[in-house]
Structure 1
Amino acid sequence: MVAESAAGARAGNGYFVQSVARALSVMRSFTAERRTQTLAEVARETGLDRATARRLLLTLADLGYVTSDGGHFELTPRVLELGYSYLSGMSLPEVAQPHLQALARELNETAALAVLDGDEIVYLALMASSRLATVKINIGTRFDACTTSMGRVLLAGLPEAELEERLGRLQLQRRTDRTVRDVQSLRAEIDKVRAQGWALVDSELEEGLRGAAAPVRDRAGRVVAAANVSVHAGRTTPELVERDYVPVILRTARLIEADLISAVG
């Protein structure tokens, strides 16, 4: 529904091709929680009428991006081609990987790197730990930025006008009892991240999951990514994460920055 309304808001632009926007909204309606969907579910998630959603799904199926058993639709691995050129052309994941490996090894926890894409974060690099099995995360996994430590770091790095625009249209979804419930509270958390230079999110994305993150900046000082460590809340406290984990994450982010600047310099 949000995707369709956003597309409608831009439809007045002379260059805007609404059919492309609608097709992309259909593809984005599939998530880790909605790997397969019926026609009715796709229509509901995108805000499209059933006839339009059906034509788009069948077109995507003809192109090889969607498969169907007659009643349910599912994305195919071919969708990965759409992001391959972007990911393969980036030095950031390659630069970050050895530092994430060192971070994960030092803390014996899951370490990751993500960027901001719309209102979501996208995982670009990951060193998973067997100690964190509650959340399935892979390269390309997306989560709402507002409920994650990396997301809040990335939101805090936005220019003020862009942040205000995003917060003005944001629709918060409650994932757990601890998920931030209103935009004012989220804004306060983002201001806190800006002031201290790192973020800590406790059981807002998933109950029992605690994450801390730090920004990764480019040569111009712009926040281009976030590095984080995710831990099970039963093994830590927020105070322990701040004392023992955050300094290591901050150091890792600085090392990634240094290598990134050298790689693109």
Structure 2
Amino acid sequence: MSEELASPSDAPRQGISSLEIGLRILNTLTESPKPLTLKQLSGKLGLSPSRLHKYMVSLQRMGYATQDQTQGYVLGKSSLTLGVAALSRIDPIQQAFQAVEALNRELDKTLSVTVWNGHAPLVIKWLDASQPVAVNVRLGMELSPFFSVSGRIFLAHLPDTRRDEILDAFYQAPPALPRHKGQPLKRDAFERHLEQVRAENLCCFYGDFLPDINVVASAIHDINGNISSVVSLMGLNGDTDVRPGSLYSEKVSGCARSVTEAICGARAQG
């Protein structure tokens, strides 16, 4: 035969269209910051109000949707139970490990994952590139909150009182001033730097950690908005551009963002 026959796995698998419509309705309710009327749902989904009403009756009957005092539709208790059950089965650290392993294979760069141990970042995953970077950092090592990218991200997200305690203790007699873009940072400048790190969820070193080594990091957040872990990438400055908007900066940010979404679900659209 001159033509190859498509295998059954190549053909689109048939689903249940009515189930898919019901799930689209739930997704639309999930993404909405406020209750939606039948008319608003109808417009968003492209379904007639009469047809949509039948779906809403079934979803309410099963507890996946309900109406509030304004008669707008919101998610019901069954949706909450489903979400909690899904969250309970997620391991945030394993999600981070799998993501950095994939990024290490894709980019062939040194990557790490750190967590906050109460007063400093702790390296819980370290993946070398095929040509390892010569740094004295390895699995199980505690890093400085001031002289590591992950440390600065954790500091930037700490409660104000706890962050001030750490800054007070450090700046009373600093062993050396933290640097950024080659410039030493006194306390006021360091605090402004932390504000930018928090706003961008990104911290970059341009030879500030060690000469000729660039580093970039971004935080993974949990369902409560707290940092679960931090992903960091490093390489020689000759072939590892980590400036915001660069390939490696975008890859690290995207990795952290995708794991956050896997842990928390897609963020509601405001």
The alignment's TM-score, normalised by the length of structure 2, stands at 0.56
CA distance in 1, matches of 2:250, 2:223: 22
TM-aligned CA deviation for residue 175 of structure 1 = 8.6
CA distance in 1, matches of 2:162, 2:185: 21
Q: Secondary structure at the match of 2:146?
A: helix
CA distance in 2, matches of 1:138, 1:244: 25
> Alpha carbon RMSD of aligned pairs, Å?
2.6
Q: Summarize the Cα distance change of 1:158–1:227 in structure 2 as closer, same or farther, 3 Å threshold.
A: same
TM-aligned CA deviation for residue 176 of structure 1 = 9.0
Letter of the structure 2 residue corresponding to residue 189 of structure 1: H
Q: Summarize the Cα distance change of 1:191–1:244 in structure 2 as closer, same or farther, 3 Å threshold.
A: same
Q: Summarize the Cα distance change of 1:236–1:95 in structure 2 as closer, same or farther, 3 Å threshold.
A: closer
Letter of the structure 1 residue corresponding to residue 229 of structure 2: A
TM-aligned CA deviation for residue 119 of structure 1 = 4.3
8 A Cα contact 2:202 2:218, kept in partner: yes
In the alignment, what sits opposite 1:256?
A: 259
CA distance in 2, matches of 1:149, 1:242: 17
Q: In the alignment, does 2:200 pair up with 1:196?
A: yes
Letter of the structure 2 residue corresponding to residue 223 of structure 1: I
In the alignment, what sits opposite 1:101?
A: 101
Q: Summarize the Cα distance change of 1:192–1:120 in structure 2 as closer, same or farther, 3 Å threshold.
A: same
Letter of the structure 2 residue corresponding to residue 211 of structure 1: V
TM-aligned CA deviation for residue 212 of structure 1 = 0.6
In the alignment, what sits opposite 1:76?
A: none
In the alignment, what sits opposite 2:70?
A: none
Ranked by relative contact order (alpha carbons within 8 Å, sequence separation 6 or more), the top structure is: 2
In the alignment, what sits opposite 1:168?
A: 168
Residues 67-113 of structure 1 deviation map (CA, whole Å, 9 limit, x = unaligned):
xxxxxxxxxxxxxxxxxxxxxxx944322211001111222211111
Q: Secondary structure at the match of 1:147?
A: coil
8 A Cα contact 2:202 2:216, kept in partner: yes
Match of 2:216 among 212, 221, 227: 212
Q: Summarize the Cα distance change of 1:255–1:108 in structure 2 as closer, same or farther, 3 Å threshold.
A: same
8 A Cα contact 2:122 2:143, kept in partner: yes
1:70-109 alignment, distance < 5 Å = 91-109=91-109
TM-aligned CA deviation for residue 181 of structure 1 = 4.5
In the alignment, what sits opposite 1:112?
A: 112
The alignment's TM-score, normalised by the length of structure 1, stands at 0.57
CA distance in 1, matches of 2:103, 2:120: 24
Q: Secondary structure at the match of 1:204?
A: strand
Q: Secondary structure at the match of 1:219?
A: coil
TM-aligned CA deviation for residue 179 of structure 1 = 7.2
Letter of the structure 2 residue corresponding to residue 103 of structure 1: L
CA distance in 1, matches of 2:234, 2:208: 12
8 A Cα contact 2:242 2:248, kept in partner: no
Tell me, which stretches of 5 or more residues in structure 1 are unaligned?
A: 1-89
TM-aligned CA deviation for residue 132 of structure 1 = 3.1
8 A Cα contact 2:220 2:229, kept in partner: yes
Letter of the structure 1 residue corresponding to residue 189 of structure 2: S
CA distance in 2, matches of 1:179, 1:112: 25
8 A Cα contact 2:123 2:141, kept in partner: yes
TM-aligned CA deviation for residue 231 of structure 1 = 1.2
In the alignment, what sits opposite 2:41?
A: none
8 A Cα contact 1:113 1:225, kept in partner: yes
Higher helix share: 1
CA distance in 2, matches of 1:153, 1:164: 15
Q: In the alignment, does 2:223 pair up with 1:235?
A: no
Q: Secondary structure at the match of 1:113?
A: strand
Identity across matched positions, percent: 18
Q: Summarize the Cα distance change of 1:173–1:203 in structure 2 as closer, same or farther, 3 Å threshold.
A: farther
Residues 196-254 of structure 1 deviation map (CA, whole Å, 9 limit, x = unaligned):
22111222222222111111111011122211111111223454x64211221122112
In the alignment, what sits opposite 1:246?
A: 249
CA distance in 2, matches of 1:150, 1:103: 17
